[in-house]
Structure 1
Amino acid sequence: MSEYNVVDPPSGNNEVPIGTRKEPVNASDKQPRPRKKYAKRAPIWQHFLQKDEESESEGWKRFCFNIFPLYKPVSKRTCSGDIVALYLEENAALKHLFNVEKQRVSFTTDIWTSSTTSCNYMVITAHWIDVQWKMQKRILSFKVVTDHKGETIAGQLLDCLDEWGIDKIFSVTVDNAKNNDKALENFKDRTRLRGGESLVCDGEFLHMHCCAHILNLIVGDGFKKANYSIVSIRNEVKHVRSSFSRLRSFSMRCETGRVCRGSLPLDVNTRWNSTYLMLSSALKLRVAFERMVVEDKLYCDYFEEVDEKTKAKRFGPPTSSDWDEAVSLVKFLKVFYKSTLAFSASKTVTSTLCYKEIVDIERNLNYMCTSLVEDIKMQAYVMRDKFEKYWNGLNNMNSLVIVGSVFDPRNKMCFASLCFDQLYGKGSKRGKDVHAPVVSAMESLYEYYTSRLSQPIDITVPTTSVPIVITDISDDDDGEMMDSLYSQLVDVRRNEVGCSELQIYLSEKTEVRVENALGLPYDVLSWWRCNSSKFPILSELARVILGIQVSSMASESAFSTSGRVLDSYRSSLTPYMVEVLICTQQWLRCSYKSEAQVTSLVQMLEEIDFLESLGKFN
């Protein structure tokens, strides 16, 4: 019997002859299709499957208990309470540290606006070198601010000093916004009222401009209008990265051209350092891109299409002259990229490297202004104008940028003098005009620390041969009174004008620049730790100068973490809880508490056995 039944046609004008229209049998009479069989899963998946008789929460508890037998579910209230308790514990330990060591600290600060909550958060990070000559960094405040005005920023800085009991501050590093200039002027005026030791030299060296932000402005102005070479290379990178088939086709050209494909990153138009990384990676694969022009027709057709954004034909593919211009551009940008990495470091000393990088940038700009490539020459002139706005001598530059390089024992004043001669000419008036304020700044700083750390001792040396009668000699006296008198006399002479520690340090030979056998950078702090007994006053000055951060990247790095905390799933967190999470995370990473070290032979053997068992299991 057929599976179709004959039905009568419907009444109406459009009649259909009988037997020409058929309807399927009722769907319930058909046999259901068998379900698709999935591949066999591991037994571990049984823990993830929810049973019919249990709820979702019960299934989660069962899973956690099976996978982690010691797991105990906790409520949100308990979890937040434990985090706050840990925050308060670390907070008290850090306040005790500030009260005991009485260190003079330097601040970096910045403001960030959350995209999920639209709240403005101001972060304040403290930097100092502890008694063990180790660089320390702590986030002290991550609070909501109502606006970006100077009075608001200054008020937050003062509140941070009061909250943590910090009495001494050396410098504050901020970006180049005008509201920050007003904020630090207000902060300086109100900090003077706290006492004579709150600021050094009446806050003359308080304001430190962020060098990374200045460098970004310099390069950004030069690349506002990207040239044809950059856009054409960017388009071909977009083509290769747009689909898997195109990437596979490009990989085949890399293999035939005998080049390693490696990574081929896309760049962001507003970030020049990403453009540098994109160009440097593309230049290594130039052979493969040139093969794509000859062998891949779809690659050539891509540049004949109209771009959706520009509504014009796409630039490219790059010609041989475009690749040559990219080579010159990468060499030009390499100096800026290297300087950005040096400025952005927050866990190492950056004040000793800052002026070297500035001089390298200025010399390269002067050289590129004479380039034969017209685009690069025009860009160099634009960057040169912006450079002179911020780093033209000491007009807008904090003199600590140059003083910091002097406190590198490999440089001292010889390196700064060489830079002045190379930039302004040997013996030129402009070089002398820059040299004099640097020396004056070092002398004023040294005099400030000398007046507060040294204690003048009045030692009267007898001019006659009358013997000194000493009475009341205790039994516990070791009889070394002449040694103590001589030590006091040496301290007095060391504080004389002609024999100051600063002059002794500058007159001695510089340390030899020898590359570390392990490839590690030179440790300036270790040298000062070893020579702190030789220069007791100067070493205290070096401690605060080397602790300065030349960029505010240390504070900006907290915003990358806060973006993961204040995402769309946690937008209801209170400002206090956000600060607790951000600060506690950073404090635990930099905590003084050290974990127990494996010292005994038994523990070492147990660890070896454990690693071997893992290898057998794998």
Structure 2
Amino acid sequence: MLDRYLYYRDVLDNFVSKDKDIKVYNLSSAEWKKVNELHKFLKVFYEVTNSFSASNTPTANVYFHGVWKIHKKLDEVYNSPPSFLSTMVIDMHEKFNKYWSEYSLILSCAAVLDPRFKLERVEYCYSKLYGNVYAKEKIEDIKNTLFELYDEYKDVFGESSHFVKNTSNYDHVLGVNGRMDDEEDYATFLSKKRKIDAEKSELELYLEEKNVDLNEDLNVLLYWKKQSERFSCLSCLARDILTVPISTVPSESAFSMGKKLINPWRSSLSPQTIEALACHEDWLRAKAFSTGRSSIFGYGDDVLGEDENDEEDNDETPAM
């Protein structure tokens, strides 16, 4: 609604100014500025909601970055100078911290298994919220969790053999007289050192590789399917983690205010009628009118959700 409203600003101003019946609703420059500010604030929530509900089964890697974007936006407004958004954001900030202040560890691991993110991007996100010290602690927790999971999968699926050549070691070391000194003992020492320094797991190799472009539109499950031959064990781990549901609550139930706007038969109302009811309630409230039984729509309190005895705090939120 705000997108369309801002796009047609000049048209609306011209139309409303010429109609005496609705001229009272014409917005001043200060009010237009507030609309623009509100649009920028809500756009983050709109984009994240679309990301989470873009398909029937969004992969778990979208969780971390989506929640981080909302968290960052709330913090920015919460810590900025007071504005008309302040009261609303205080309540939102409190509710957000109630459910999301502790990021799910396993779903944070899913972000690392997105080749566009890996550890660097996750560390950057944490540092922007909590500072560098806390970010390093969280990254260490995530890294340890990933390696523990990888070890379990390695025991079941095995792993490909990966060796990195260590060219800094000589095959032979000559003594002062050109002879081999303690040849057998040195060969054993060198063999152990090379095994420790040169052999790397699939997870280590994956984390050391260059990240995929952050803006690339990537199907992460297809990516790991293509990597299954090279990273046989890690790809199994990745696909299991990435298919963890972000939420057990449907997006419509988690974000919709339909329950507070209309009655249980709302499915019989068109989207235009629902939008009209929401706007009508807001306009009447702005003019200090009561949305009681005298509603011009004829639905009354049970439709607009203004029953004073209804104290329900609709706290449906995405479950971990």
TM-score strictly above 0.5? yes
2:145 match? 441
Tell me which protein shows more strand as a share of its residues.
1
CA distance in 2, matches of 1:292, 1:370: 38
Larger Rg: 1
Shift of 1:370: 4.1
- Residue of structure 2 aligned with 1:415, choices 111, 115, 121: 121
CA distance in 1, matches of 2:74, 2:195: 44
- CA-to-aligned-CA distance 1:367-423 (integer Å, 9 cap, x gap): 21244562212222222222222222x3xx321221111111122111111112222
Q: Check the 8 A contact 2:124/2:135 in 1, yes or no.
A: no
2:223 match? 527
Shift of 1:555: 8.8
Q: Check the 8 A contact 1:351/1:545 in 2, yes or no.
A: yes
Q: Check the 8 A contact 1:346/1:554 in 2, yes or no.
A: no
The amino acid of 1:291's aligned partner reads N
- CA-to-aligned-CA distance 1:545-591 (integer Å, 9 cap, x gap): 1212213466969xxxxx99x99xxxxxxxxxxxxxxxxxxxxxxxx
Matched, 1:454 2:163: no
The secondary structure found in structure 1 opposite 2:85 is helix
2:64 match? 355
Distance 1:412 1:294, change over 3 A: closer
- Residue of structure 2 aligned with 1:509, choices 210, 218, 227: 210
Q: Check the 8 A contact 1:342/1:350 in 2, yes or no.
A: no
Shift of 1:498: 6.0
CA distance in 1, matches of 2:116, 2:14: 50
Shift of 1:281: 1.6
2:105 match? 399
CA distance in 2, matches of 1:417, 1:454: 29
- Residue of structure 2 aligned with 1:382, choices 79, 91, 95: 91
The secondary structure found in structure 1 opposite 2:246 is coil
- Residue of structure 2 aligned with 1:327, choices 14, 23, 36: 36
The secondary structure found in structure 2 opposite 1:297 is coil
- Residue of structure 1 aligned with 2:5, choices 282, 290, 299: 282
CA distance in 1, matches of 2:251, 2:79: 38
- CA-to-aligned-CA distance 1:123-156 (integer Å, 9 cap, x gap): xxxxxxxxxxxxxxxxxxxxxxxxxxxxxxxxxx
Matched, 1:366 2:79: no
CA distance in 2, matches of 1:289, 1:349: 38
Matched, 1:292 2:1: no
Tell me which protein shows more helix as a share of its residues.
2
- 1:468-617 residue pairs with structure 2 within 5 A? 499-513=200-214, 515=216, 521-552=217-248
CA distance in 2, matches of 1:335, 1:551: 19
Identity of paired residues, percent?
A: 32
The secondary structure found in structure 2 opposite 1:409 is coil
CA distance in 2, matches of 1:555, 1:381: 23
The amino acid of 2:121's aligned partner reads F
2:52 match? 343
TM-score by length of 1: 0.33
Question: Tell me, which stretches of 5 or more residues in structure 2 are unaligned?
Answer: 160-193, 254-263, 269-320
The secondary structure found in structure 2 opposite 1:450 is helix
- Number of paired residues? 223
1:432 match? 136
Shift of 1:454: 2.7
Q: Check the 8 A contact 2:58/2:246 in 1, yes or no.
A: no
RMSD: 3.2
Q: Check the 8 A contact 2:49/2:251 in 1, yes or no.
A: no
The amino acid of 1:299's aligned partner reads I
- CA-to-aligned-CA distance 1:33-52 (integer Å, 9 cap, x gap): xxxxxxxxxxxxxxxxxxxx
Question: Tell me, which stretches of 5 or more residues in structure 1 are unaligned?
Answer: 1-277, 304-315, 456-492, 516-520, 558-562, 568-618
- 1:137-176 residue pairs with structure 2 within 5 A? none
